């Protein structure tokens, strides 16, 4: 079986841009795969000791440290966060620690705001900067009303940990987590300037050339962890002991009594008729994921240092080879007409997009969910967690989600000149220029590439998964993104 998996993985690697992947079964590492370069300049290939940035997979470690405080009765998960972190404004008064752990706080995602405002993820962000963005952003919804992934939640958890213990989460994890487990190559790069021994540089292809793109991201809690395949194997095997990962991932109910599918740094889902616990991470050209199948006593790790691969697709294909695909769903062909932007009456949008020949819903909560074809008359497709239903509607399609209907946006014949201009977000000194080129609206900011805009109606444009809501009386627009609604205001500067 491992030969079949190796041959499959070898067939994917091109231009020596590869990845590391492992399989653990019944408490033992049974398979490690390394293919590609850690450093092209010095001709260093990937090994199981190569150290990658694991991005949001590090949330598992943050949650693990917080749970230690809860188990030791040094922290109550029902404690309100404004009672712990005095800098938080009163608008956060109903949010408790559990809401942060389960992404049900309603706090906007600081990284989404920074990224839209052209703050590159290669920059250093001060803790005070992140605090300011969180405190000044709009509350997205009432606490525990729904799930919405937000890096701000786990950033705040790291501050809570430090407030209670007088130790940074990096200091505690080094002594109380990494050392006991023998994770000697794992560290938090909290200063952004740490030497990362055995670092795997990250790469991308531009103009048919391989180029390096490294990051020293210095914010911790929501990320900040560097680790190797050997070390991450120790981590996932530890979590599989005594059903620890199942207990951590057990989720609570939302206000409407529906089940949340995220808790303590883990998503829960079902694949190939098996319960799956997982988390992935994407940052720059680094990608990572850990997967757990408790009923099979299997865990997997994948670490990637380029943008050629999706870690979830890799793991799920290997799982299919390992345990078989027992799904009874019959697939059907979906027309390219399905792809596009869908909008509801609240101006929320969902994108249906194609990635590596697979369709995904990019939803209002900032998730990317695989489109699962069905053979039912009422529903031609659904998301992998069944939260979205794609319906044939007249000559087009609609999406049913969370009690709301999303209808596909079609090109309009609106007068577009009123949107054209140069705009500035004073808070971040972020510039955006909107031009009309060959009858289409194109947005260009300082750092980003040109983006095509779609006119929904006389005052709303869409740009990818973001909505720009215009107020022509004040010559401005507000940005609504899946993880940060109403947190950025741009005003026209060339009136």
Helices marked H in 137-208 — which ranges? 151-165, 169-173, 179-181
Q: Please provide residue 330's backbone torsions phi and psi, each rounded to the nearest 5 degrees.
A: -85, 130
> What are the tens digits of pLDDT across the range 73-106?
999 999 999 999 999 999 999 999 999 999 999 9
Class of domain 336-408: mainly beta
**pLDDT score of 331:** 47
136 pLDDT higher than 50: yes
CA 161 to chain centre: 23
Range in 43-47, 208-212, 334-338 the model is least confident about? 334-338
Tokens at 187, concatenated: 């560290």
The CATH number that domain 417-492 falls under is: 2.40.128.50
Q: Taking the domains of the chain in order of start, what are their residue ranges?
A: 8-106+141-323, 336-408, 417-492
- CATH topology match: 336-408 vs 417-492: yes
The end-to-end CA distance of the chain, in Å, is: 66
CA dist 354 → 89, 122, 131, 280, 391 (Å) = 40, 27, 35, 19, 18
CA dist 37 → 9, 43, 233, 373 (Å) = 15, 7, 20, 37
Class of domain 8-106+141-323: alpha beta
Confidence of residue 447 (pLDDT cuts 50, 70, 90): low
DSSP H/E element including 6: helix 2-12
> What are the tens digits of pLDDT across the range 270-309?
777 888 999 999 998 999 999 999 999 999 999 999 999 9
- How does the average pLDDT of the chain come out, rounded? 88
**pLDDT score of 17:** 95
Confidence of residue 332 (pLDDT cuts 50, 70, 90): very low
> What are the tens digits of pLDDT across the range 9-20?
999 999 999 999
234 pLDDT higher than 80: yes
Q: Read off the DSSP letter of residue 403.
A: T
> What are the tens digits of pLDDT across the range 305-329?
999 999 988 998 999 899 886 554 4
Checking phi first, is residue 77 left (phi over 0); if not, alpha (psi -120 to 50) or beta? alpha
**pLDDT score of 385:** 66
Strand pairing category for 358-362 and 368-373 = antiparallel
Are 363 and 402 in contact by the 8 Å Cβ rule? The answer is no
**pLDDT, mean of residues 429-434:** 90
Question: What contacts 117, CB < 8 A, 6 or more positions away?
Answer: 425, 427, 428, 430, 488
Range in 162-166, 180-184, 320-324 the model is least confident about? 320-324
CA 96 to chain centre: 22
Q: Please provide residue 206's backbone torsions phi and psi, each rounded to the nearest 5 degrees.
A: -135, 125
């Amino acid at each position: 079986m491992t030969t079949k998996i190796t041959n499959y993985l070898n067939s994917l690697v091109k231009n020596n841009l590869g990845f590391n992947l492992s399989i653990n079964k019944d408490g033992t590492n049974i398979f490690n795969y390394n293919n590609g370069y850690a450093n092209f300049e010095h001709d260093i290939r990937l090994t199981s000791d190569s150290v990658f940035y694991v991005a949001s997979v590090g949330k598992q470690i943050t949650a693990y440290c917080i749970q230690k405080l809860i188990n030791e009765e040094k922290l109550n998960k029902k404690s309100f966060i404004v009672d712990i972190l005095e800098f938080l404004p009163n608008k956060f008064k109903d949010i408790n620690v559990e809401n942060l752990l389960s992404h049900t706080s309603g706090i906007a995602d600081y990284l989404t705001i920074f990224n839209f405002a052209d703050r590159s993820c290669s920059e250093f962000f001060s803790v005070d900067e992140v605090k300011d963005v969180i405190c000044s952003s709009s509350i997205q919804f009432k606490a525990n009303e729904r799930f919405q992934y937000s890096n701000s939640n786990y950033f705040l958890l790291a501050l809570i940990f430090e407030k209670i213990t007088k130790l940074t989460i990096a200091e505690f994890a080094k002594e109380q987590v990494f050392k006991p487990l023998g994770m000697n190559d794992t560290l938090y790069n909290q200063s952004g300037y740490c030497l990362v021994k055995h670092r795997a540089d990250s790469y991308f292809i531009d103009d048919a050339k391989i180029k390096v793109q490294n990051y020293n991201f210095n914010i911790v809690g929501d990320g900040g962890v560097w680790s190797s395949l050997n070390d991450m194997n120790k981590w996932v095997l530890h979590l599989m002991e005594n059903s620890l990962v199942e207990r951590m991932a057990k989720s609570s109910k939302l206000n409407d009594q529906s089940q949340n599918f995220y808790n303590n740094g883990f998503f829960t889902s079902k694949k190939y008729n098996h319960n799956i616990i997982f988390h992935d991470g994407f940052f720059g050209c680094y990608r990572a994921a850990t997967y757990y199948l408790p009923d099979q006593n299997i865990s997997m790790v994948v670490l990637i240092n380029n943008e050629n691969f999706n870690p979830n697709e890799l793991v799920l294909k290997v799982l299919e080879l390992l345990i078989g695909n027992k799904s009874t769903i019959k697939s059907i062909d979906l027309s390219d007409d399905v792809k596009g932007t869908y909008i509801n009456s609240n101006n929320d949008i969902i994108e249906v997009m194609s990635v590596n020949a697979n369709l995904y819903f990019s939803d209002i909560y900032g998730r990317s969910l695989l489109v699962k074809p069905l053979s039912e008359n009422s529903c031609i497709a659904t998301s992998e967690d069944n939260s979205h239903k794609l319906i044939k509607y007249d000559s087009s399609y609609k999406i049913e989600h969370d009690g709301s209907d999303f209808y596909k946006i079609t090109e309009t014949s609106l007068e577009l000149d009123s949107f054209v201009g140069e705009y500035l977000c004073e808070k971040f000194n972020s510039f955006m220029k909107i031009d009309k080129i060959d009858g289409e609206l194109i947005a260009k900011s300082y750092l980003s590439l040109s983006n095509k805009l779609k006119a929904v109606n006389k005052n709303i444009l869409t740009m990818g998964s973001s909505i720009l809501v215009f107020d022509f009386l004040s010559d401005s627009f507000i940005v609504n993104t899946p993880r940060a609604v109403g947190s950025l205001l741009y005003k026209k500067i060339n009136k």
